[in-house]
């Protein structure tokens, strides 16, 4: 049925800019309605009605004037829309829609209509375009319908003045702006406001308008980008004497009469229309105050605005970018939080020191103050406590889709399974039960564990399998990990929910690296791979640590900031072919509740504190699929993609994990060469030498990586970070080689070929371990080489694209 609706919507001209995916999304909001011949779909004066698209049949737009009979204004045929103008201006319906045949319509209620405009602002612009066209027609035909009023109220919707926070910064900045506002509010002539995107030109314009004309006067906002299409015909032509009788009787300045006309991005109006606008401004006899806004340095004005228009503006004021007045950032951020708390009747949260430092370290080149507002609003809505820390600050561009992907959720069966979550829950429970059974067996009946080969499977199959699977299927092990299931089971019953210490968040890579080094070292030194009881103690120790962290701290802090196994799998899965991602356009335009982060009544939020529109790497996604279940907007996708692609497209990542990669690479030499002597020489001196080499190599690898990728101020993935991540295939190959030696029976397995020669049967055999090592190292080296080349190539492409943009 949705397909039928989507098909019908695809034939509507108004919606022609929407993609098929967007049409399908929109279709789910519409309802079919049928009307008989002679019935009225909307009645003139009706207060509440929907937005309609006529799909089948014919109808007339009828207007009744007091004391007169109803008369036909226009006919409607399939594809035409009605009801939108009264929904836009909040007034009662201005006309009646009368069915001339049996009619079938798609109806969208007023809330759905508002959601549609928020989700697709381009549709809003299309409606405004239609209104201006109707105003032209109304002027020319002297129609009774007062389109000017309708247009004025529709455009005033566009000003978002309720969204202004009215904060300028610290005391110094505020005093300076207030002084300037006083000065600009004196009616000496029109004003040009310059400043980078998001610096608050519209808010400034609003406050100048408020001081000059008062809040009740019209404040009309139009956009220079669409000025030529929408407004060119509504600026008055200079009237020659012969023409004066046909001059339009209503124009753009009339709409803003007695108030302010704010033209955004005035420099984007074509030179011809700029000239026409300049002439119109000069002849409009102060009907309204005009403020032009544009993103430019004042020195460039002569270049981008024609002199005639430039001369129309008596003053110019430039708003300073946020990065040049960083002292204002903490005050603005806290001010936004106070206003949000007041509006939502909540306690005012405070930013902790680390979060404040992060806010100060950012450059806000994407959107200045508006970028800061978005970051703070997001942090406010997702914060569960009254302190906002690093985990709630999401910066920078939203995740981008790179290259082709296949969304597995397109399969209704898989989508249904993941949405319900029952199957995964059962697999988790079974895995946890098997794990408990295994630990008990290793602990209390080690001989049986050895004789039944169960013990051999733990080291010989589980570890190598993790190293082999993670580069392809990501953190799929974490989906069913028993450590996590048991930890979560306890956390649901006992939790203290303390704030995670900032040093843990900031230096988690050191904790993960240290625990990883320690576990490997203990394994080798205690000969754990041949000792079931020690193995059981290791597994229990990991589980106890995970439980303690889960009781103390929220969500899966253990998995995100401590787990060495998670660190290993996470790093391996950065380039894997499976990803969970959201559609940022849906998240930014449609979502106000952020369930992926916050959770719902039945399903907790992301255990790794991910906010989906910003999730653009696999390192911290443990494939729990909670977000698939929680998202009410169908934004989450589970994609198949090209292996390795993420590495050369990395935008942001926990840079510290480059150190972890250095550590993992460093220990391969002592593990591979020295640990193999362990079976021959188990003396204390060997242990001392091994320990020295092992820790020395691990720390050297980590330190080298640290020196290469520092500083760690932001999460931006620099070229150096990407180059170190490019070594992941080599690291994994090394670990696969090391683990392969422990696969049960592999040491006695030989692979070869034989043939009949004159001298008899000839055969060549090589040990299976040697073959596995050869394959692993070849793949590791080749994939690392390819990834490094692609990282360099992609960086070069980006630099060229950036310099091209600058030249343009």
Binding site for ligand SF4 (CB under 6 A): 478, 481, 483-484, 546, 558-559, 563, 565-566, 580, 582, 586-587, 591, 594-596, 606-608, 610, 612-613, 615, 621-627, 631, 633, 635-636
Q: How far is the CB of 583 from ligand SF4 (least distance, A)?
A: 8
Q: How far is the CB of 473 from ligand SF4 (least distance, A)?
A: 13
Choose between 615 and 737: whose C-beta lies nearer to ligand SF4.
615
Q: How far is the CB of 588 from ligand SF4 (least distance, A)?
A: 8
Alpha carbons 439 and 533: distance in angstroms, whole number:
9
Choose between 276 and 622: whose C-beta lies nearer to ligand SF4.
622
Map residue 577 onto helix, strand or coil.
Answer: coil
Alpha carbons 67 and 64: distance in angstroms, whole number:
8
Alpha carbons 86 and 116: distance in angstroms, whole number:
16
How far out from the chain centre does Cα 173 lie? 32
In the beta sheet, which residues pair with residue 579?
A: 639
Choose between 319 and 379: whose C-beta lies nearer to ligand SF4.
379
The answer to whether the bond into 711 is cis (omega within 30° of 0) is: yes
Q: Give long-range contacts, CB 8 A cutoff, 24+ apart: 303-312.
A: 304/267, 305/266, 305/267, 305/274, 306/271, 306/274, 306/275, 306/278, 308/274, 308/275, 308/278, 308/279, 309/266, 309/274, 309/275, 309/277, 309/278, 309/281, 310/192, 311/278, 312/190, 312/278, 312/281, 312/282
Strand 313-318 and strand 289-294: pairing? unpaired
Choose between 148 and 428: whose C-beta lies nearer to ligand SF4.
428
Q: How far is the CB of 621 from ligand SF4 (least distance, A)?
A: 3
Q: Which helix (H) or strand (E) holds 193?
A: strand 190-194
Alpha carbons 377 and 383: distance in angstroms, whole number:
10
Choose between 105 and 547: whose C-beta lies nearer to ligand SF4.
547
Choose between 54 and 563: whose C-beta lies nearer to ligand SF4.
563
> Burial level of 328, CB count in 10 A (0-12/13-18/19+)?
buried
Q: How far is the CB of 534 from ligand SF4 (least distance, A)?
A: 20
Q: How far is the CB of 399 from ligand SF4 (least distance, A)?
A: 11
Q: How far is the CB of 741 from ligand SF4 (least distance, A)?
A: 23
Q: How far is the CB of 689 from ligand SF4 (least distance, A)?
A: 31
Map residue 756 onto helix, strand or coil.
Answer: strand
Alpha carbons 221 and 206: distance in angstroms, whole number:
10
Q: How far is the CB of 570 from ligand SF4 (least distance, A)?
A: 7
Alpha carbons 29 and 522: distance in angstroms, whole number:
59
DSSP per-residue letters across 202-217: HHHHHHHHHHHH-TTS
Q: How far is the CB of 510 from ligand SF4 (least distance, A)?
A: 17
Choose between 570 and 698: whose C-beta lies nearer to ligand SF4.
570
How far out from the chain centre does Cα 147 lie? 39
> Burial level of 391, CB count in 10 A (0-12/13-18/19+)?
buried
Q: How far is the CB of 539 from ligand SF4 (least distance, A)?
A: 11
Choose between 264 and 590: whose C-beta lies nearer to ligand SF4.
590
What φ, ψ does residue 96 adopt, rounded to 5°? -105, 140
Q: How far is the CB of 632 from ligand SF4 (least distance, A)?
A: 6
* Token representation of residue 47: 């207060």
Choose between 520 and 594: whose C-beta lies nearer to ligand SF4.
594
Choose between 265 and 616: whose C-beta lies nearer to ligand SF4.
616
Alpha carbons 58 and 475: distance in angstroms, whole number:
57
Q: Which residue is nearest to ligand SF4 (CB)?
A: 566
Map residue 766 onto helix, strand or coil.
Answer: strand
Alpha carbons 137 and 566: distance in angstroms, whole number:
66
* Token representation of residue 95: 């006309």
Q: How far is the CB of 392 from ligand SF4 (least distance, A)?
A: 14
Choose between 329 and 621: whose C-beta lies nearer to ligand SF4.
621
Choose between 257 and 595: whose C-beta lies nearer to ligand SF4.
595
369 closest CA partner among 197, 204, 223: 197
Choose between 312 and 606: whose C-beta lies nearer to ligand SF4.
606
The sign one gets for the Cα dihedral 407, 413, 419, 421 is negative
Alpha carbons 616 and 394: distance in angstroms, whole number:
12
Choose between 586 and 723: whose C-beta lies nearer to ligand SF4.
586
Q: Are 265 and 234 in contact (CB under 8 A)?
A: no
Q: How far is the CB of 160 from ligand SF4 (least distance, A)?
A: 21
């Amino acid at each position: 049925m949705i397909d039928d609706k989507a098909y019908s919507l695809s034939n509507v001209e108004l919606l022609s800019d929407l993609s098929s995916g967007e049409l399908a999304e929109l279709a789910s909001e519409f309802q079919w309605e049928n009307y008989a011949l002679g019935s009225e779909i909307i009645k003139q004066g009706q207060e509440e009605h929907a937005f309609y698209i006529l799909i089948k049949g014919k109808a007339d737009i009828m207007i009744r004037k007091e004391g007169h009979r109803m008369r036909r204004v226009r006919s409607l045929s399939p594809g035409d829309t009605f009801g939108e103008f009264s929904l836009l201006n909040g007034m009662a319906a201005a006309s009646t829609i009368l069915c001339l045949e049996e009619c079938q319509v798609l109806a969208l209620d007023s809330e759905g209509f508002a959601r549609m405009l928020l989700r697709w602002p381009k549709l809003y612009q299309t409606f405004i375009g239609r209104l201006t066209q109707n105003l032209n027609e109304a002027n020319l035909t002297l129609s009774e319908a007062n389109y000017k009023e309708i247009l004025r109220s529709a455009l005033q919707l566009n000003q978002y003045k309720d969204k202004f926070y009215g904060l300028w910064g610290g005391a110094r900045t505020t005093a300076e702006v207030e002084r300037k506002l006083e000065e600009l509010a004196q009616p000496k002539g029109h004003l040009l406001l310059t400043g980078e995107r998001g610096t608050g030109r519209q808010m400034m314009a609003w406050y100048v308008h408020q001081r000059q004309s008062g809040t009740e006067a019209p404040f009309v906002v139009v956009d220079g980008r669409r000025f030529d299409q929408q407004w060119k015909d509504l600026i008055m032509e200079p009237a020659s004497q012969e023409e004066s009788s046909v001059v339009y009787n209503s124009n753009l300045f009339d709409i803003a009469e007695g108030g302010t006309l704010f033209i955004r991005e005035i420099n984007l109006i074509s030179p011809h229309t700029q000239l026409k606008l300049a002439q119109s401004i000069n002849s409009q006899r102060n009907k309204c105050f005009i403020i032009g806004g544009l993103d430019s340095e004042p020195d460039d004005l002569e270049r981008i605005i024609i002199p005639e228009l430039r001369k129309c503006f008596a003053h110019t004021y430039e708003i300073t970018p946020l990065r040049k007045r960083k002292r204002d950032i903490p005050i603005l951020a806290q001010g936004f939080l106070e206003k949000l708390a007041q509006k939502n009747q909540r306690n005012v949260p405070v930013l902790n020191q680390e979060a404040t430092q992060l806010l100060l370290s950012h450059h806000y080149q994407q959107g200045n103050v508006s970028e800061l507002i978005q970051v703070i609003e997001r942090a406010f809505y997702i914060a569960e406590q009254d302190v906002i820390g690093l985990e709630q600050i999401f910066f920078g561009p939203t995740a981008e889709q790179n290259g082709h992907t296949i969304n597995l959720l397109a399969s209704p069966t898989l989508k249904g399974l993941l949405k319900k979550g029952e199957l995964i829950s059962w697999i988790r429970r079974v895995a946890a039960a098997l794990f408990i059974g295994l630990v008990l067996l290793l602990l209390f009946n080690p001989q049986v564990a050895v004789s039944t080969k169960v013990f051999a499977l733990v080291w010989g199959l589980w570890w190598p399998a993790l190293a082999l699977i993670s580069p392809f299927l990501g953190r799929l092990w974490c989906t069913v990990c028993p450590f996590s299931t048991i930890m979560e089971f306890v956390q649901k019953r006992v939790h203290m929910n303390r704030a995670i210490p900032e040093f843990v968040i900031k230096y988690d890579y050191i904790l993960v690296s240290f625990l990883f080094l320690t576990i490997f070292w203990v394994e080798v030194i205690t000969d754990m791979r041949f000792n079931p009881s020690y193995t059981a103690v290791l597994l229990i120790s990991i589980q106890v640590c995970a439980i303690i962290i889960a009781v103390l701290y929220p969500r899966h802090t253990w998995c995100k900031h401590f787990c060495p196994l998670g660190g290993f799998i996470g790093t391996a899965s950065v380039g894997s072919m499976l990803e969970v991602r959201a559609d940022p356009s849906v998240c930014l335009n449609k979502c106000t509740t952020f369930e992926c982060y916050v959770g719902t009544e039945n399903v907790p939020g992301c255990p790794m504190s991910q906010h989906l529109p910003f999730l653009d790497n696999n390192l911290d996604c443990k494939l729990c699929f909670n977000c698939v279940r929680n998202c009410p907007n169908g934004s989450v996708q589970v994609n198949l993609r090209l292996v390795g692609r993420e590495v050369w497209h990395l935008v942001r990542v926990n840079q510290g994990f480059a150190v972890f990669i250095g550590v993992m690479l460093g220990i391969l030499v002592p593990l591979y060469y020295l640990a193999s002597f362990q079976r021959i020489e188990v003396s204390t001196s060997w242990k001392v030498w091994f320990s020295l080499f092992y820790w020395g190599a691990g720390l050297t690898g980590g330190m080298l990586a640290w020196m290469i990728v520092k500083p760690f101020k932001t999460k931006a993935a620099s070229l150096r970070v990407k180059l170190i991540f490019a070594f992941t295939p080599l690291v994994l190959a090394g670990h696969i080689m090391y683990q392969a030696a422990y696969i049960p029976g592999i040491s006695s397995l030989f692979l070869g070929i034989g043939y009949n020669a004159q001298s008899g049967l000839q055969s060549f055999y090589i040990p299976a371990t040697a073959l596995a090592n050869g394959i692993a190292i070849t793949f590791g080296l080749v994939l690392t080489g390819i990834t490094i080349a692609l990282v360099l190539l992609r960086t070069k492409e980006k630099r060229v694209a950036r310099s091209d943009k600058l030249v343009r």
